[in-house]
Structure 1
Amino acid sequence: MNQKGFTLVEMLVVLLVISILLIITIPNITKNQSTIQGKGCQAFLKMAQAQVQAYEIDENKLPADVAELKTKGYLKDTTCPNGKAITMSASGEISVAP
């Protein structure tokens, strides 16, 4: 018998290995979800700060608020990935709303 292909036992071993890897990774992902969202929010704040600078270069003035950045198309959203809203100070600094 010189047939090519997988036997049932080989297929079950592959499925077992994949299942074990999933069992190991899923709890780690859920455990670190808040850290992941925090890093996403930090990255979003840096991107929003860059958009404030781009607005200032284009318009020769600071935007009045974050909503103006959104209406002019510089930002698609005004909330971090963790759901917290962002605000802008009078000097153009972006931060997370308290």
Structure 2
Amino acid sequence: MKKLMINNERGFTLIEMMIVLLVITIILLVALPNVTKHSSSINDKGCKALVQMVQGQVQAYYMDKQTYPSSLEELKTDDYLKGSNLVCSNGNPLSIDGKGNVIVTDSK
């Protein structure tokens, strides 16, 4: 007499897979708004840091030349700033007013 080998392998049913996908979807729906909220906060802090860095270079320029630069291009030409990307992460460029203050100009 032959013994029957019973295959006792169990897998996931379709219902179990659907429940897992539902739980993952709910977790993503809860987590994504928080991530985007923090992303804009990070962009704002990065923009403030860029303004402070450029303001420091304006002050260094003033200490050397006893006058404020008229533009960011003047700072670049005199090697106080390197690189050409002086734009905040929100797309607004930086500029210098007549009193030597670095401001974020609204590009809209």
**Equivalent of 2:62 in 44, 56, 67:** 56
Displacement, 1:89?
Answer: 0.6
For residues 91 and 80 of structure 2, the distance between their equivalents in structure 1, rounded to whole angstroms, comes to: 19
Structure 2 gaps, min length 5:
1-27
Displacement, 1:71?
Answer: 2.1
Q: Does 2:56 correspond to 1:87? A: no
Structure 1 gaps, min length 5:
1-22
Q: Residue 49 of structure 1 aligns to which amino acid in structure 2?
A: Q
Displacement, 1:69?
Answer: 1.1
For residues 59 and 41 of structure 1, the distance between their equivalents in structure 2, rounded to whole angstroms, comes to: 27
CA contact (8 A) 1:70 1:78 kept: no
Which residue number corresponds to residue 72 of structure 2? 66
Aligned residues: 75
**Equivalent of 2:46 in 12, 32, 40:** 40
Q: Deviations over 1:51-74 (max 9, x none)?
A: 100011122211111121122222
Q: Deviations over 1:4-61 (max 9, x none)?
A: xxxxxxxxxxxxxxxxxxx8xx845444111101000011111111110001112221
Which structure has the larger Rg?
2
TM-score normalised over the length of structure 2 = 0.59
Bigger helix fraction: 1
Displacement, 1:88?
Answer: 0.8
